[in-house]
Chains A and B, each alone.
Chain A
């Protein structure tokens, strides 16, 4: 028994798991910390500000419409730090509620994407053969259709709701994960610990989910952080085209689309939510890039 167990231990030569090592190496960088601080600040503001301030992002006040942000132009007030839009709705509150939806959709889409892709890749890589061929041709075909065309085609002809947006974006993004997962699984399944487990009589499912998945998923999941940002952009693009979450619910996309009409007399409506979006995305991308670098340097054997 013990001789068969040793190869399994040899797969993790160091006492700490790869995931923990990637994490701590990324956490040690300045970029990651900057990203994390900015991200947490914005996320906390998005969660608590609309509640604490008691400002309803959809409440109209026509008397105070088109107020500029503080220190910009005439008629600004501290009560509306980032100004108001064409219907007198508070821009700060609207942007933060938009950020909530953006984060919600971005994160759940990425989770769905990674889950579907990982499952597909796991089965294709482990069993190989015909399943593998069919799956890979399917991902080829899907890579050939620009994801956004697929998304706007589906959302354009059916009604866009939050679940449908998450499903459409998630299902159109999985092929890349399926590929990465497949190649990772294929290289793992030839190793001794898998053969050892087979000799011990473990079922295929047990090997796949108890041995291989915990080993190959974390590195892939770390890089998926970058995709949260990509999905947030997609969500706002859809909103901008009028195919995202529908008004009156404020999202970055539909606020900016609205603001475009008032660009000449009220530039802040289109620009303010964009700044929030850019800050959030930069913070996520900084964290994601550090995680990616940490992963590469560990796999590169540094």
Chain B
């Protein structure tokens, strides 16, 4: 019952957030200079044709009308068609405006649905790598605040934070795939292609995990129930595993919710460097090509994912720590 009320409230708030996001992006895209029709039809197309296409697509209507149509489409599960991308491999747009071989334009939803699993795979692997490195360092630092492990955690995270992802990506590609030929780097041709991008992404996430863990483990270890646990006869290993780690996993979960957008930002750049066919590469290409429906679609899907992840995070947090309220 409580859960149902909680879900209803959060989903409603989430819908509002997604609506705001789409309104902001939609308006933004239409007030900035640059005509997408010109890009679609090509530089050689006559002005009259441009106007005709724009008219047909409703791009000359007032913004609120366009937005109304767009929202109506979303409500029916239709994110619209890409301006530029074809459904099949053939080109849409380009220099020749009267090219008859131009095929049907791709559905935004299909493009996102193709790219999203790739990104999820990358993000999950990166998360696994980050946790493997960061949890031991962070917990160790938190158990001995002010001493070497704590300092070590601070230095390591300061260095990791300072490595720009695109530069690290290039350097690692140079070392690991060009010089040592250990891992493939560019494009996608199997699971091995995910590893290098995931390492780069993990380096970006790890410092936040380390910092959160050192702080929260140190805080938990000062609690009285930790001292009492020792009196109760629990070994230090048991205390750390079942008391300290469990209590500090809540801030870690919250971090995941809050830093979601940072993770996505990293995904964007990393996918661009490694030419990895996920949502990030799709976004960058969409922006470069002024593919408005695609940009809007990605913004809405990521906003929705943000909302859902935060709801799941809160649910998990209450499951781990029943003292928390919905």
Question: Once the chains bind, are A281 and B261 in contact (CB under 8 Å)?
Answer: no
Among B102-110, B296-304, B315-323, the stretch in contact with A: B296-304
Minimum CB–CB distance for A258 against chain B, Å: 11
Q: Are A137 and B174 touching (Cβ within 8 A)?
A: no
Interchain CB contact under 8 A, A153 and B29: yes
**Nearest CB in chain B: distance from A279 CB, A:** 8
CB within 8 Å for A274 and B154 given contacts A140-B17, A145-B21, A153-B25: no
How many pairs of residues, A versus B, come closer than 8 Å at their CB atoms?
A: 141
A263 contacts which of B25, B29, B33, B174 (Cβ < 8 Å)? B174
The answer for the CA separation of A282 and B161 in the assembled complex, in Å, is: 8
A236-B25 in contact given A156-B287, A157-B33, A263-B178 (Cβ < 8 Å): no
Chain B interface size, under 10 / 10 to 19 / 20 to 34 / 35 or more: 35 or more
Q: Are B20 and A289 in contact (CB under 8 A)?
A: no
Interface residue? B38 (CB, 8 A): no
Residue from B34, B164, B288 within 8 A of A278 (CB atoms) = B164
Q: Is A240 a contact of B161 with CB atoms below 8 Å?
A: no
Interface size class of A (residues with CB under 8 A): 35 or more
Are the C-beta atoms of B32 and A148 separated by less than 8 Å? no
Is B265 among interface residues, defined by CB-CB distance under 8 A? Answer: yes
A281: chain B residues within 8 A (beta carbon): 161-164
- A259-300 vs B, CB cutoff 8 Å, 1 = contact: the mask equals 110011001001100100110011011100100000010000
A149 touching B283, Cβ below 8 Å:
yes
Partner of B170, one of A138, A152, A260: A260
Question: In the bound complex, what is the Cα–Cα distance between A153 and B25 (angstroms)?
Answer: 9
Asked if B295 is at the interface (CB within 8 A of a chain A CB), the reply is yes
B167 near A274: Cβ-Cβ < 8 Å: yes
CA distance A147 to B165 in the complex (A): 16
Instruction: Tell me whether A274 and B159 are in contact in the complex, defined as CB-CB below 8 angstroms, given that A148-B265, A153-B287 are known contacts.
Output: no
Q: Is the CB of A256 within 8 A of B178?
A: no
| B303 engages A145 (CB within 8 Å) | yes
Is A233's beta carbon under 8 Å from chain B?
yes
Whole-angstrom distance between the Cβ of B169 and the nearest chain A Cβ: 10
Is the pair B284, A270 in contact by a Cβ cutoff of 8 Å?
no
B221 to chain A, nearest CB (A): 14
Q: Which residues of A contact B290 (CB under 8 A)?
A: 156-157
Interface contact A147-B265, CB-CB below 8 Å: yes
Chain B residues with Cβ under 8 A from A140's Cβ? Answer: 13, 17, 20
Contacts A144-B307, A274-B167 known; A157 to B287 CB distance under 8 Å?
yes
A7–B288 alpha-carbon span in the complex (Å): 58
Other-chain residue from B29, B167, B303, B307 in contact with A256 (beta carbon distance below 8 A): B167
A277 with B167, Cβ < 8 A, contacts A144-B21, A149-B302, A241-B272 known: yes
Cβ-defined contact, B158 with A274, below 8 A: no
Residues 145 to 166 of chain B near chain A (Cβ within 8 Å): 151, 154-155, 157-159, 161-166
Q: Which residues of A (113-164) have their CB < 8 Å from a CB of B?
A: 137-138, 140-141, 143-149, 152-154, 156-158
Residues of A within 8 A of B298 (CB): 149
Q: Which of B34, B159, B284 contacts A152 (CB 8 A)?
A: B284
Contacts of A143 in B (CB 8 A): 258, 261, 306
Complex contacts, A233 vs chain B, CB 8 Å: 164-165
Q: Is the CB of A146 within 8 A of B268?
A: yes
Q: Inside 8 A of A149's CB, which chain B residues have their CB?
A: 264-265, 268, 283, 295, 298-299, 302
B230 close to A (CB within 8 Å): no
What chain B residues lie within 8 Å of A148 (beta carbons)? 264-265, 268-269
A141-B21, A149-B299, A149-B302 known; A229 and B162 CB under 8 Å?
yes
**Do A154 and B28 touch (CB < 8 A)?**
yes
- Given A144-B306, A146-B264, A229-B162; A278-B20 close (CB under 8 Å): no
- Give chain B residues whose Cβ lies under 8 Å from the Cβ of A278: 159, 162-164, 167
Type the 1/0 row for A219-258, where 1 means its CB is closer than 8 Å to any CB of B: 0000000000100010011001100000000001100100
Q: Does A192 lie at the interface of the complex (its beta carbon under 8 Å from any beta carbon of B)?
A: no
With a cutoff of 8 Å between Cβ atoms, the chain A residues found around residue B306 in the complex are: 143-144
Within 8 A of A (CB), among B259-290: 261-262, 264-265, 268-269, 272, 283-284, 287-288, 290
19 contacts between A and B (CB under 8 A): A144-B303, A145-B25, A145-B303, A148-B268, A149-B298, A152-B283, A153-B29, A229-B162, A236-B164, A236-B166, A236-B167, A260-B170, A263-B174, A264-B178, A274-B167, A277-B167, A281-B162, A289-B154, A296-B215
Closest 8 CB pairs of A and B: A281-B162, A274-B167, A148-B265, A141-B20, A146-B261, A156-B287, A282-B162, A146-B264
